[in-house]
Amino acid sequence: MARKFLYLIAILVMLALAAAFAYRYFGAEILRRTMVPRVGFESQPETQSSAYADPAMWIARPDKPGNPALWTPDGYEPAGDPPAAVFFIHPTSYLKRTHWNAPLDDKEANSRAALFLRGQASAFNAIGAIWAPRYRQATFGAFLTDEAAANQALDLAYGDVDSAFDQFLREIGPDRPIILAGHSQGALHLSRLLKERIAGTPLADRIVAAYVVGWPVSETADLPAMGLPACQTADQAGCILSWQSFAEPADPSLIFDTFDATRGFTGQPRKDTPVVCTNPLTGGADETASADANLGTLYPSADMKSARIIAGRVPARCTGRGILKIGAPPEVGPYVLPGNNYHVFDYSLFWANVRKDAARRFKAFEAGHH
C-alpha cells in the first residue's frame, strides 16, 4: 500500500510538472482555446447617456454607498472634498465564453470589477472624486483572437463608456479638473476616448493627466492622434502615462502578437513601433529606479478582502520596445499571465507612487492654470 501511494505521488508530481511546462511554453495557445467564445456576436441597442443618470449604472460615484474606490490600506485616507474628478474605466472582469459582452447584471463580473477598483482606482482618491461606470465590457477571450466578433464586442463596450463620459461631464460641471484613468480593456477604451473626445477640443485643457495603463500606446501610430503628449517628467501636467509590467525573464508576445497586426489611430501600422513607457516609480519616461524608490506595493490577503502596503520591494525600469520590467517575480498574488506578465498588478505594484504622482501632477496643473 505504501509503495502504491508513493507511485501515486510520483505520478501526480509528474503531471503537475507537465502542466507547468505546458503553461510556460504554450500558455498563450491554452488561453485562446479555453477563453475565446464559440458563439456568434449578439447585436444590442446603444446605451443612451441618460441611462447613466441612474446611480445603479456606476460601480463608483461620489454619492454611492459602499463605494469601492474609497478603500485605502492602513495609513491612508480618501480626501473628504477632493478638488479633481476622476473618470476611471475598469479592466476586464468578465471571463465567460457564453457571450462576447458582459451583461450589466452579471454578479461575478461586477464583484470582480469592484475588487479591481479597490486595488486600482483607490490610488486616486486623495486628489479626485472617482466615477467608474458599469459597461458591457468585451469578454477576456476577445483579446486573444482576430475574429470580427471581437472588434464588434469592443465597439459595443466603447459605446457604453462614451455615453457614461457624457453623463460624467454633466455631473461634474464645466470647470472641474479631470483625471482620466483605466486599466487593460479600460485603458484601450480610454485611448479611444482621448482620440475621439479629447483631442482638439476644449476638454484637453481640463485634463490633469491620463493614466493609460496596461495597454500599449504606440509612440508613432497612436500618440500623435490622442491629443496629449506622453509624460516626460514627474511634474508635467496634461500628458499621458502608460506602462505594462513584466517580471524577468519577460515574454510580451501575448500582447504584441495581436497589437502588431493592427493599425494605430494615425492609420500607420503598429508593428514593431516603440510604445510609451512611463516609470511609475519616478514619473519620467524611459527611466530606471531601484526598489528603494517604491513607496508602497499592495500585498493582498489570501481571500482578497484586504491588503497591506509594503515599501521598497519592487523596482522598475523601462526597457526594449517600451516594456516595464520589475526584476525577479514578486510574490503579490497568483494571477500572473504567461510570459511573466504582471498585468493584473500594474497599479497595485506601484500603488503609493501612483497616489503621489496624481497629487504632484494636479499641483503642476493648478500652477499652470493660475
**Predicted confidence (pLDDT) per residue in 6-57, tens digit:** 334 333 333 333 334 344 444 556 666 677 888 888 899 999 999 999 999 9
Q: Tell me whether residue 333 is exposed, middle or buried, using C-beta atoms within 10 angstroms of its C-beta: 0 to 12, 13 to 18, 19 or more.
A: middle
Q: Over the stretch 209-265, which tens digit does the pLDDT of each residue have?
A: 999 999 999 999 999 999 999 999 999 999 999 999 999 999 998 889 889 999 999
pTM, two decimals, is: 0.91
- SS3 readout for 134-184: CCCCECHHHHHCCCHHHHHHHHHHHHHHHHHHHHHHHHHCCCCCEEEEEEC
The half-sphere exposure of 239 on its side-chain side, counting CA atoms within 13 A, is 23
Query: Tell me, what's the pLDDT at 93?
Result: 95
- DSSP letter (8 states) at residue 305: S
3-state SS track over 206-253: HEEEEEEECCCCECCCCHHHCCCCECCCCCCCCEEECCCEECCCCCCH
Mention every residue, 6+ apart, whose C-beta is less than 8 A from residue 252.
Answer: 244, 246, 321, 323, 339, 341
Specify the residue for cell string 525577479: 328
Amino acid at site 4: K
Sort strands 316-319 and 288-289 into parallel, antiparallel or unpaired: antiparallel
Which element (helix H / strand E) includes 32? Answer: helix 2-35
Question: Which regions of the chain are under pLDDT 70?
Answer: 1-33, 304, 370
Q: Which three cell numbers stand for residue 75?
A: 495609513
Environment class of 77 (CB within 10 Å of its CB; exposed 0-12, middle 13-18, buried 19+): exposed
* Separation of alpha carbons 298 and 83, rounded Å: 25
The pLDDT mean for the chain works out to 90
